[in-house]
Structure 1
């Protein structure tokens, strides 16, 4: 790849190998490097490698990539899966939402067969999830099978924000009624910084 070119979200840029490596604003999938958002493609040559990156324009239209942590709102729940609307990637608010699906097998790391979707999520819940490699066009596969992933915001039937009381329950502070959820284990930023130091 020579020179700078303009790319669109999800555009395949080049093969991913020992020479071409994905950089900022890109992701690798099935041996190719793709653009995460619209922008200018930059090639930074090192000794024996080229880092392929995308530098966004003012109106970035970023797309979820495998491995990204996203914030999504649950819209539909049934026995086999729940459908979601992806609102953010990391701390970046998306200019448009994307469709996501969270299958029963991807809710928990253990006890997958015993998972009951309605005891894990309800419509309107805000969840943190990891993006899996896509298997369907226009729908992102999601997973909450990590302790840090799951429901972060839920409202009771009274419309009051509930507080987590365990990894499987949230409670309404007004009525004290508990509801089952797959609760995300949120690590405060200060503790995360101390752990990494």
Structure 2
């Protein structure tokens, strides 16, 4: 993956036994998690520290006054869905979220903008769920309330999902994520890794 590795709030960064707690992170069930959005910084353990040999993980809060433009790739979190569209909060700009937004921008992914083919068969509920982290592209500045986004390319769609049981999921195909703990599969519009 090119560019910095970006974390979003609540994202699991690793086991607390193999990583040291840094700024912008917290512990949850023996896992080191991101508290804020931003690039993940890894610092090597200091030689003077005799207690820890683990690297320290921190999240850097980088902010800017950048605004999404038509053609900008974004990372955002699904906040609400209905049969016609998914509402999303834009959290970062760039394919890997290089530029974290100071405040989230409201946006909409309409049913017809989810996939490039078989548009009439697309179901919003089978593409996105509330809490999914999505990579999308701005296709219109929209109205005064929301930007319009599209996930109609292979590299666009859900990049991070949590199962109904609260477990982190992994993509297993272009349209399914799997909960590794339970083996349950859930339908999503999966983004091809960049």
Normalising by the smaller structure, the TM-score range is: 0.5 to 0.7
Report the Cα distance in structure 1 between the residues aligned to 2:113 and 2:63, rounded to whole angstroms: 33
Counterpart selection for 1:175 from 146, 167, 182: 182
Q: CA deviation at 1:94?
A: 0.6
Partner of residue 72, structure 1:
76
Number of residue pairs matched by the alignment: 130
Instruction: Give the unaligned 5+ runs of structure 1.
Output: 1-57, 188-197
Q: CA deviation at 1:59?
A: 6.5
- What pairs with 1:137-156 in structure 2 (closer than 5 Å)? 137-156=144-163
Question: SS at 2:71's partner residue?
Answer: coil
Partner of residue 33, structure 1: none
Q: Which residue of 2 aligns with 1:158?
A: 165
| CA distance in 2 between partners of 1:66 and 1:81 (Å) | 19
Residue number among 62, 84, 87 corresponding to 2:66 in the alignment: 62
* Partner Cα separation in structure 2 for residue 98 and residue 168 of structure 1: 27
Structure 1 consecutive aligned stretches of length 4 or more whose deviation exceeds 2 Å: none
Match of 1:83 among 87, 108, 116: 87
Q: Which runs of 5+ in 2 are unaligned?
A: 1-61
Query: TM-score scaled to structure 2, two decimals?
Result: 0.65
- State the shift of 1:134 in Å: 2.0
Computing the radius of gyration over CA atoms, which structure comes out larger, 1 or 2? 1
TM-score (norm 1): 0.64
